[in-house]
Amino acid sequence: MKKHNIRGLNVIEFGEDNSQAIIFIHAFPLCNRMWDKQVEALQAKYRVVVYDIRSFGYSEVGDGHFTMDSHVSDLISIIDSLKLEKPVVCGLSMGGYITLRALELYQSKFKGAILADTKAESDNNPTKHARAEQMKMVKNGQREQFADNFIKAALSEANYTEKPELIELLKKLISWQKNEAITGALLTMAARTDTTESLERLELKMLILAGKDDRLTPPEFSKIIYGKTKNSDLKLIPNAGHLPNMENPDDFNTALMDFMKGYEKNSK
């Protein structure tokens, strides 16, 4: 394991430098630790890079003004600083929004992409209003209620009932995050552009994943991305909601490993 500070970003890499690189971008309102099970599964074969999005985890807040484009600039600075040659990029939820904008701007930088529980559409008005309410809760000191609401909505009903240890882990990860990270991300997501039109221009191989029981970003959105991209596969992860990599890591990792194997085979 190597730790780096790149432009104030907390970046951690695992595995050998000469292996195919894969870089993971975490979901809101979490940090790089949401990918622990994926790091564990992939590090023996791949160069695995995880990082905290600016202001989250141990990454610095900077000037506190974030856009999807500024998050993409951070991603590109990591790729360039670590000299990652054509990494595969994997983003979940907010990480997927950053990935979609990165592909729109810098497709040639990447070898492949994995989009999990995300969507290309920008926020509609009801979603923007909901994000404003969440910001108000955080600013009013209702962090605990915010976390409880998020976890209940994110997990499938079965996992919310049957996996208390996962709920505790998520509470811990959310409790680590700064208020500025949470409110800043809510604003950034509400202001993001629609990337739907760029989907048809994507040539690289893609894997689209979604928890079958995702209520925050239902699988219909993943099906839209699949329908508009020419070189993609779609897999729905059973027994999972919005965080399938944590709710059902075995099936998520199997899909991930199959994609990485197949992609390398086809690209030699």
Residue range 223-236, pLDDT digits in tens: 999 999 999 999 99
Q: What is the mean pLDDT of residues 79-95?
A: 97
Q: What is the mean pLDDT of residues 59-68?
A: 94
Which residues span the domain enclosing 200?
Answer: 2-267
SS3 per residue for the chain: CEEEEECCEEEEEECCCCCCEEEEECCCCCCHHHHHHHHHHHCCCCEEEEECCCCCCCCCCCCCCCCHHHHHHHHHHHHHHCCCCCCEEEEECHHHHHHHHHHHHHHHHCCEEEEECCCCCCCCHHHHHHHHHHHHHHHCCCHHHHHHHHHHHHCCHHHHHHCHHHHHHHHHHHHCCCHHHHHHHHHHHHHCCCCHHHHHHCCCEEEEEEECCCCCCCHHHHHHHHHHCCCEEEEEECCCCCCHHHHCHHHHHHHHHHHHHHHHHHHC
Q: Map tokens 């907010």 to a residue.
A: 94
Q: Map tokens 């059973």 to a residue.
A: 238
Is 193's pLDDT higher than 80? Answer: yes
**Tens digit of each residue's pLDDT (9 = 90 or more) over 127-180:** 999 999 999 999 999 999 999 999 999 999 999 999 999 999 999 999 999 999
What pLDDT is recorded for position 51? 98
Judging by beta carbons within 10 Å of its beta carbon (0-12, 13-18, 19+), is residue 185 exposed, middle or buried? buried
Judging by beta carbons within 10 Å of its beta carbon (0-12, 13-18, 19+), is residue 63 exposed, middle or buried? exposed
d(CA 235, CA 189): 25
Q: Residues, the chain, total?
A: 268
pTM: 0.97
Is 267's pLDDT higher than 70? Answer: no
What pLDDT is recorded for position 265? 42
Judge whether 222 and 117 are in contact, CB under 8 Å: yes
Number of domains in the chain: 1
Q: What is the mean pLDDT of residues 195-213?
A: 97
Percent of the chain with pLDDT over 90: 96
d(CA 131, CA 128): 5
Is 61's pLDDT higher than 90? Answer: yes
What pLDDT is recorded for position 111? 97
Question: Where residue 268 falls among pLDDT bands split at 50, 70, 90?
Answer: very low
Averaged confidence pLDDT in the chain = 96
CA distances from 16 to 42, 43, 139, 206, 231 (A): 11, 8, 43, 24, 28
Q: Map tokens 């999807």 to a residue.
A: 68
Domain containing 251 — which CATH number? 3.40.50.1820
